[in-house]
Chains A and B, each alone.
Chain A
Amino acid sequence: MVKRLEMIEWLALGISTLLLVLVYLLVGLWPFAILAGIPAMAWSRPRLRRTAWASSAVMVFLLGITAFGLARQIAIPFLLINSIPILVFWDLTSLSAGIPDGQPDRFSVVLFARHMRWLGMVVALAALLLILVALIHLELSFGWIIALTLALVFGFVVLVRKLSQTA
């Protein structure tokens, strides 16, 4: 089961890397295409894969490169969708890291099925929202953005406080 998880991880990482490399190559930003290939190459090293922070670092790196492309306004729909394979990769690496070595498949199969159901839901919803973002163009004033950000920050603070109280 862990091998199956690793296969999907690799698939997600491959899709994300390929997407970024192709986008940057087509635009002519080849140094960034090389940069985009680095996480996949690094991930192929088993020693690095075993470290706890490696998948988070790969996720942040890929998000950074994607964000750079979006900042340059290139291939926006592809780069937006790229956040989904990045999330899938990061989520599955943490799941497979949590499964103890040699765990019998009878335990992993149910866990995997249920996890994939939730992940599938998130992926479908995220894809829908990202497509909407790519299609619908909304212009908000700076004040609105600040207000929304403050609301978001306030929401986070309330959430963290509530969680720490329940803990």
Chain B
Amino acid sequence: MTKRFVVTVIAITGLILLALILKNGFILALAIPFILTLLVGLIALPKPMKIIAQRTVDGSVFTPNQPINTELTLQNNGEALERVEIEDETFAGEKLVEGQTKILFALNKGESCVLNYSAFLTRGVYRITHVAVSASDPFGLFRMVQEVTAPAELVVQPATPGMRRQRLHPRQTRNYPGQIPSDRPGQGMEFLGIREYRPGDALRHINWRSNARHPQTLFTNEYRREEMADFGIILDTRRLTRFANMEAEALESNVQVAAAFAEKVIHEGNRVSLLVFGMGMNSLFPGSGKQQLSLMLRELGEARSSPYMSLDFLRYAPVRLFPNRSTLVVFGLMDERDLEIYARLRSFGYDIVLVNQDFVTLTSAEFEQKSLSRAAIRAARVERALLLRKFSKLGVRVVDWAPNQSGADVLIEIGRQLILFRRK
């Protein structure tokens, strides 16, 4: 039954009652056309639908800037349907470029209908199972809704900010060949130092200037061995303040930069693992290569903000997730309650870079509009500065992400902080 049915019944009942009250048969006759529509609606009541749907999407992995072209074909294998409404709820409310996601039409027996549309989807993993089909009588009085299976899985990966050419130089590397110059001598391009010549050393590495100064001894140049490194990305999705909208925006930026960072790390031949920390912890064990990147972008695509939970739960994370000598890059807000777990992670020997958005500046704009006390904003700034200092004292490098800084700038800053670990 629909609203229209209710209005029809009310109109008919009202006219009957009025006719009875006024004892006027002509008023009763006014209800005839409405009673007839009701009868026709009953006669043409939709029979159980036998609709088969097929969905074709031009791919399975997309970015938010990439339109998703979908073709939905519906074949009616049952009785003719006078009024059918189809709505593809996945795309409802999304930015439609072309076509329609909702249509109202009539479908004869054996007939098929093709729906084409193109839309942008926001970041996420969409598991589409069905399409909602509702059939009704010609006057829309009685409706029958059915969910027709039309499965598809779409992954909309986060958009990644453009990266400038800048190599990552973490302090800790592994003993496997890679692209990062380590502190160990070996085959490489970057100069490490000079040592006394040993038999077997390549003659082209002999340092002739040093030999000239010390004629009795031969010296050879040593080069840094190029190795790969282990990185761990922790995306903190917890809500720490009451500014849910702003935190959602901040999470979006964090996801984008984390995705770009993962892309860069893997592109340079390193291993990377991921932990999306929140109510539901999603993790990805260390790996490298395109498949790992694809899995990471998928996990990051699914990240949603979650209620607060203590970062202390990290102690239950599998040991293999972040191997020894890993560099952890944490994307999230700073919280005093997390200091202890950061200290613990540092004690395990991890180098930690915390990418933290300046939430005080972000939110203060709203406060200033509301003409609230400026002293409160100043106090919050001081509190944040103190917290930054506490983190620094623990040996955690903090990338202070100002609101006017782009994602690309933040990536450069992460690289700079990694170099600072080496200089320590």
Question: With an 8 A cutoff between CB atoms, is A121 at the interface?
Answer: yes
Alpha-carbon gap, A80 to B19, bound state (A): 13
In the complex, chain B residues whose CB is within 8 Å of the CB of A80: 26, 29-30
Q: Is the CB of A122 within 8 A of B11?
A: no
A66 touches B30 (CB 8 A): yes
Decide if B30 touches A67 in the complex (CB within 8 Å).
Answer: yes
Nearest CB of B to A133, in Å:
4
Q: Choose among A84, A91, A111, A126 the residue that contacts B139 (Cβ–Cβ < 8 A).
A: A91
Give complex CA distance A113, B98 in Å.
26
Q: Are B105 and A118 in contact (CB under 8 A)?
A: no
Q: With A67-B18, A76-B26 in contact, is A159–B11 under 8 Å at CB?
A: no
B103 close to A107 (CB less than 8 A): yes
Q: Is the CB of B30 within 8 A of A114?
A: no
B34 CB–A CB distance under 8 Å:
yes
Distance from B25 Cβ to chain A, minimum over Cβ atoms (Å) = 7
Q: Which residues of B contact A114 (CB under 8 A)?
A: 82, 106, 138
**Per-position contact with A for B1-39: 1 when CB-CB < 8 Å, else 0?**
101100101010011101010101111011111101100
Given known A98-B140, A100-B100, contact A59–B11 (CB-CB < 8 A): yes
Q: Say if the beta carbon of A104 comes within 8 Å of chain B.
A: yes
B244 interface residue (CB < 8 Å to A): no
Report the Cα distance A123→B139, complex, angstroms.
13
In the bound complex, how far is the Cα of B11 from the Cα of A42, in angstroms? 21
Alpha-carbon gap, A164 to B142, bound state (A): 10
Closest A-chain residue to B143, C-beta based?
Answer: A167
Report chain A residues within 8 Å CB of B34.
Answer: 83, 87
**Cβ-defined contact, B15 with A107, below 8 A:** no
User: How near does chain A come to B326, taking the closest CB pair, in angstroms?
Assistant: 52
Q: What is the number of contacts between chain A and chain B, taking CB atoms within 8 Å? A: 117
- Is the beta-carbon distance between A84 and B33 smaller than 8 angstroms? yes
- In the complex, which residues of chain B have a beta carbon less than 8 angstroms from the beta carbon of A164? 1
Q: Are A163 and B1 in contact (CB under 8 A)?
A: yes
Q: Does A49 contact B (CB under 8 A)?
A: no
Interface membership of B394, Cβ < 8 A? no
A15 within 8 A of B: no
Q: Which residues of chain A are within 8 angstroms of B11 by Cβ–Cβ distance?
A: 59-60, 63
Interface residue? A138 (CB, 8 A):
yes
Q: Is A71 an interface residue (CB 8 A)?
A: yes
Q: Which residues of B contact A156 (CB under 8 A)?
A: 9
Given contacts A91-B37, A110-B105, A111-B106, contact A67 B138 (CB under 8 A): no
Give the size range of B's interface with the partner.
35 or more
Q: Could you say which residues of chain B place their CB within 8 Å of the CB of A56?
A: 7
Question: Does A51 count as interface, using CB distance less than 8 angstroms?
Answer: no
Residue of A nearest to B136 (CB): A98
Assess whether A145 is interfacial by the CB under 8 Å rule: yes
Determine the chain B residues whose CB is within 8 A of the CB of A99 once the complex forms: 104
Decide if B52 is an interface residue (CB 8 Å cutoff): no
Q: What residue in chain B is nearest A142 (Cβ atoms)?
A: B23
Contacts of B102 in A (CB 8 A): 100
Question: Which chain B positions have C-beta within 8 A of A119?
Answer: 138-139
CA distance A86 to B4 in the complex (A): 15
Within 8 A of B (CB), among A67-116: 67, 70-71, 73, 76, 79-80, 83-84, 86-87, 91, 94-95, 98-100, 102-104, 107-108, 110-111, 114-115
Enumerate 26 A-B pairs (CB-CB under 8 Å) in ascending A order: A52-B3, A60-B11, A63-B11, A70-B26, A80-B26, A83-B29, A83-B31, A83-B33, A83-B34, A87-B33, A100-B102, A100-B103, A103-B104, A104-B100, A107-B105, A110-B106, A111-B83, A111-B104, A114-B82, A114-B138, A115-B106, A122-B36, A129-B29, A163-B142, A167-B1, A167-B144
Which residues of chain A have a CB within 8 Å of any CB of chain B? 52, 56, 59-60, 63, 66-67, 70-71, 73, 76, 79-80, 83-84, 86-87, 91, 94-95, 98-100, 102-104, 107-108, 110-111, 114-115, 118-119, 121-123, 125-126, 129-130, 133, 138, 140, 145, 149, 152, 156, 159-160, 163-164, 167
Which 9 pairs between the two chains have the least Cβ-Cβ distance? Answer: A126-B33, A118-B138, A107-B105, A133-B29, A70-B26, A87-B33, A100-B102, A111-B106, A83-B30
